[in-house]
Amino acid sequence: MGFFSFFGTGSVKKALRQGAVIIDVRSASEYDRGRIPGSINIPVDRIAANAERIKHMKRPVVCCCASGHRSGIATTTLKQAGINEVYNGGSWEKVLHLLQSI
């Protein structure tokens, strides 16, 4: 479990219950090796370029990656772009586990 995975579990779970869009910010090759069904892959270096598209989804956003570091960067980037309901889910496996528990 990554450093960021200990923070905000309750908020992440609430967002998932509300139908959050899950954005996996790992590379395409990492995503291809394992992912959350229904998640969207937007590598962290492409998040800023996709912020408007994400904003127009009008749903809470949960970012995930391998450990929580890149999803933390993506969360900050999206908040700076004006998306208020965005959460760092930590590792994709943790988010998958949370999804399975709701």
User: So what's the pLDDT on residue 10?
Assistant: 86
**Per-residue pLDDT tens over the stretch 34-48:** 999 999 999 999 999
Low-confidence spans in the chain with pLDDT less than 50 = 1-6
8 A C-beta contact, residue 62 and residue 89: yes
- Rounded Cα gap, residues 33 and 29, in angstroms: 7
User: So what's the pLDDT on residue 8?
Assistant: 64
Closest CA to 74 of 15, 34, 2, 26: 26
For the beta carbon of residue 46, count every other beta carbon within 10 angstroms. 12
Cβ-proximal residues to 96 (8 Å cutoff; 6+ apart), any chain: 36
- Rounded Cα gap, residues 27 and 21, in angstroms: 18
User: So what's the pLDDT on residue 5?
Assistant: 40
8 A C-beta contact, residue 25 and residue 50: no
Q: Choose which CATH entry (3.40.50.1260, 1.10.3720.10, 3.40.250.10, 3.40.50.11890) describes domain 3-100.
A: 3.40.250.10
Question: Where do the structural domains in the chain lie, given as residue ranges?
Answer: 3-100
